[in-house]
Structure 1
Amino acid sequence: MAVLAVGLALLFVGGQRHFVTAPDPFLGNVLAAGSAVAWAFTVTGYRWLARDGGADHGPIAAAAACGNLMVFLVCLPGALPFAAGRSVDWLIVIYLGVFQLGLAYVFLSRAITRVPALEASLYLLVEPVLSPVWAWLAHGETPGPLALLGSIVILTATALKSWTDTQVVAA
């Protein structure tokens, strides 16, 4: 866990340049860290529901649906009026909502009954740790060397945790 904290700290101290798509990198990092903490509480809550509910994933799926509905209602005023978009744009948004989010929650609600909360969080947070890479590829936002090092530290710690857990189970 300490190694993960070091990796996160490196992401914060890496002096990042300002871009049109990222005008305030420090604020973005703070919001990302807050999001990670909120997600940790979410996964812990799902794990708690799984422990009390046994193998049934229904309460977890219901909690995910209610949570997403609440977030939708809170965010809706800021999204209005909807921007005009082509029908293909709206189809992509619907596709991502159903498959990227919806299907992911189905898998999570089924898996969290069998996987410890920390392990689930580590696997699920690999994608956000790769965000500097995605931002570089999609927008040309070059991550600083310390941000890259932080990502490498977190990914390495996650891989080592997964590998050592596999070795313990195999033994």
Structure 2
Amino acid sequence: MFALAGVMLMMGLGVEGGLLGDILAFGLTVCMAIIMVIARRFQNIPIMPAACVSALLSGLVCWPVGDPLAITGHELLILALFGVVNSAVGLALFTLGARHLPAIETALIGSLDAPLAPLWVWLAFNETPGASTIMGAVIVFIAVCVHLIAGTLGRRAKLDPAMF
């Protein structure tokens, strides 16, 4: 509940970036949820080929709304690095982890993308996030950490009630 409030504070409900961006972000979240369900249900699917197919399909879907031939060689290199590091390796590792964690914890860990994204943009491009983005990110981060710590302590208490 608090994580959702933090994300809503960060988004500003379409005030700055427009409603289309919020709709696309929601669509991305739904797609990530579908990926988590598929990874848990069909654990025998090889991850890297699935990530490659996902990336190719994403490119095909985005092709008509962009101008992919209007980028420089340097920008193409940056996009390729982003694709390999974030999409391929990141998605593969996330999917592997999703197979071993409860669905709620996987979703909460995945939601850390929202508060960490402005940090990475600030570190990489020196773009300073707004106050509502920082406050929302802090709320999401604290909510996720509290939930994960409480879940860990709860599991330990079930394993060894004498500990507490």
Question: What's the TM-score, normalizing by structure 2?
Answer: 0.72
- Whether the aligned pair in 1 keeps the contact of 2:114 and 2:137 (CA below 8 Å) is no
- Whether the aligned pair in 2 keeps the contact of 1:136 and 1:142 (CA below 8 Å) is yes
- Could you say what secondary structure the match of 1:79 adopts? coil
- Whether the aligned pair in 2 keeps the contact of 1:43 and 1:120 (CA below 8 Å) is no
TM-fit CA distance, 1:100: 2.5
- Whether the aligned pair in 1 keeps the contact of 2:109 and 2:144 (CA below 8 Å) is yes
Question: What aligned pairs does 1:1-171 form with structure 2 within 5 A after superposition?
Answer: 2-13=1-12, 25-27=16-18, 31=21, 33-53=22-42, 55-58=43-46, 62-77=49-64, 78-86=66-74, 90-137=76-123, 138-144=125-131, 146-171=132-157
| Unpaired segments ≥5 residues, structure 2 | 158-164
TM-fit CA distance, 1:90: 4.3
Q: Cα–Cα, structure 1 residues 143 and 71, in superposed 2: closer, same or farther, change >3 Å?
A: same
- Whether the aligned pair in 2 keeps the contact of 1:122 and 1:158 (CA below 8 Å) is yes
* 1:20 counterpart residue number: none
User: For residues 160 and 105 of structure 1, what CA distance do their matches in structure 2 show?
Assistant: 24
Aligned-pair identity in percent equals: 21
TM-fit CA distance, 1:36: 4.1
Instruction: Indicate the RMSD between aligned Cα atoms, in angstroms.
Output: 3.0
Q: Cα–Cα, structure 1 residues 99 and 164, in superposed 2: closer, same or farther, change >3 Å?
A: same
What letter corresponds to residue 79 of structure 1 in structure 2? D
Q: Cα–Cα, structure 1 residues 168 and 61, in superposed 2: closer, same or farther, change >3 Å?
A: farther
| Unpaired segments ≥5 residues, structure 1 | 15-23
**How many residue pairs are counted as aligned between the two chains?**
154
